Structure 1
Amino acid sequence: MAGSHRAALSGSTSTDPTGRGAVAAVWRIESARIVGALARYTGDFALAEDLAQEALAKALVTWPRDGVPRNPAGWLLTVGRRRAIDGFRRRSALDEKYAVLARDLGEDGAAPGDGADDVLWDPDQIDDDVLALMFISCHPVLSREARVALTLRVVGGLTSDEIAKACLVPTATVQARITRAKKTLGAAEVPFEVPTAEERTARLGSVLNVIYLIFTEGSTASSGDDLIRFDLAGEAQRLARVLARLVPDTPEVHGLLALLELTAARFPARTGPDGEPVLLEHQDRRRWDRAAIRRGRAALARAEQVGRGLGAYGLQAAIAECHAVAPSVEETNWERIVLLYEALGSLAPSPVVDLNRAVAVSMARGPAAALPIVDGLADSEALANSYLLPSVRGELLSRLGRADEARAELARAVRLCGNERERAVLEGKIADLTASG
């Protein structure tokens, strides 16, 4: 691994005179392993993340001056471990942790670069470290926003500025969330370890949910000027692939990976030349990413192979597969999609699932069959603050020839929609209705 990194980075320094690009590249690839290894050595997750950041800061000073080490990840890990030793030494020269860490490191006073490149990585231990890191970052004691921020920081290797940009919040907000999250984990005395098999099953849902939330925000941004945030969605895909490798016998992990791959496969056709949204019926399916579709279908097959029936993510992936293999909207197997949504609604009831089922019913059986489902959701006020419900209801009313009611619903959707691109689509539909009227 170190050799391949060195080869990849040797070219980057020629176009990056400051050397900061090389540091950023290594950090993005290896940060989770480094933080995980430091957490295992120190037994303190919050301290490990701080030590890793200190090592990163030192690399930003040292590498541009002295060149990229032969083993960049080993260099960062060694610096982090020595920072830990220094801290323990300051507390007590006889501290037992210092003795253990010093013995593991083989400390001889050498500066980083003199043998620091030669730290060996145990692949099995690395996998356990990264898996433990995922479970800690997504621990149930943390808020949803904190789980997302911490996962992107310590598992994804994103900086606070990058997370803030992706989540459309100030950098200070992200930093505060991460700080509070680490304090909460410390106060709860959450150990750095891979949960037991029983505990892992219960807590895996939180990990999957965080990855799904990251991807959902990336695939359809809740606010801002861009419909898709490719970097955020891509990071969620990467995390899902890592998790699928770490727990290969868990069906819902593969189900989530399949859903992300099959959904992302449509990204190239979802926006036009100026970034405007392109609705499913108008997308050029030749632009869909066929490699992503193959990966998604393979992951879905794996989920079916290792499980006893599909879970919630697997069912959503099966729905996405129906779209992926259909030559057109008209030739899509809408009846199968309706059945899959019914199964999903039984397994994981949600007003959003019911709304999506209504859309499928409208395609399979007509808008008159779907409108009562949507009206029931409107009466329940389950999606009172979502633009999705009036958007779908407006579309159904439009297809039924009830133009005035459709315009009113679409206008309400415009008021509730936070994304500029999607709002423009809704306004276009209102304009079309007005012109045709």
Structure 2
Amino acid sequence: MSEFLELQALTDRLLTAARKAGADQADAVALEAAAVSVDVRGGRLEHAERAEGVEIGLRVLIGGRQACVSASDRSDRTIGEMAARAVAMAREAPVDDNLGLAEPGQLTRDTDSGRLELFDPGPEPSPEELQDLALRAEAAALAVEGVSQIESAGASHSRRRMWIAGSNGFSAGYGRSGHGLSAVVITGEGLGMERDWAGESRVHAADMPAPEEIGRLAGERTVARRGARKPPTGAFPILYDERVSGGLIGHLVGAANGSAVARGASWLRDTLGEQVLPKGFDLLENPHLPRHGSSRVFDAEGLATAPRLLVRDGVLQGWTLDLATGRKLGMRSTANAMRGAGSPPSPGVTNLELTAGSRTRDELIREMGRGLLVTSMLGASVNATTGDYSRGAGGFWVENGEIAYAVNECTIAGNLRDMLLRLTAANDAPEWRGMRVPSLLVEGMTLAGA
């Protein structure tokens, strides 16, 4: 834990300053991060960037009021000014009796994140090594017949360490690392140009796929889009490919967020304990998956995290809550608080998995007969209160159970409450995603094309 000593000392200094300034309660965050990224194009280095620094944040609470401040300067003068400014701001803020730190008895004693393997112990890749990975991905994409050019190929590495401490006695931290690689590929020319991409990210370099695999996939996806045109207009089944299906479930997760529910701005606000997915569907949150970038043993308020079912057999089991939203709704926190250096805690989720089906995506394509396979989404118009849904999309038109041609510039629409009750899942849930959701078939949506 020696690598955290400086961060822990910074949070202690922030809390001391907050007490001296007159705060009733306070919590502090110290974050150290570094990232390097390399982009190549045409077999040559195009851009390289490195960023690193330390950020500190302080939240103070006074009589049901709160304020947050942050800074990158760690001097005693700055910390003292931060505390004084935060207290002055809090005294002018509106009263919310639901605000407050966790009681000491609520805090977890298990703060060791080591078992989750969130930090790659291997050496950090050099810029030259990152460049080599990007060049290999680019070369593999260019080798796919029909690729006209590479828009970009890039590799990156990041690491960060964070310490959180509160006047209630909580004090703990964790470190995370990340490796990423992606390629964006173009086929065709002029008005007939189409693009697609592929990319992956992992906590550990050893878990990354080969750059040749990523480049080849990006090239194949792009070439498949040649000759894209608009589909017909009408009511058709829509099959969300696993590349985009997580976004559909994300709308459900967002509507079950305690902040939205407490404001009355959720289309799920009156559905607790009711059917929101077809029978047989579970939606599991598991914050304890090893080597996954968003895993954690405690949340941003010091509560112990645990796996939980958001949806069981299609029935909504509960909201996603931090302490404040839980108090507003008369419920206990689900230990889902998240925060940054300059913001208060708010509810958020990690590592979601939706029940997969028994059929392949190709089998669902054959069964749908005529409709749209969606592989990309463009923009969004979603009414958070009513669930009315309209999004731009691209993908492939399906005719007689087979892919007929690539599609661009169309809009799909429906109502999320109805759409989610008409799901059929494939068996292709991807690994290593923060949201493991298979391809999803939705019957009877409105499609606006030609």
Smaller-chain TM-score range? under 0.3
Query: Larger helix proportion, structure 1 or 2?
Result: 1
Task: Give TM-score scaled by structure 1 length.
Answer: 0.25
Query: Larger strand proportion, structure 1 or 2?
Result: 2
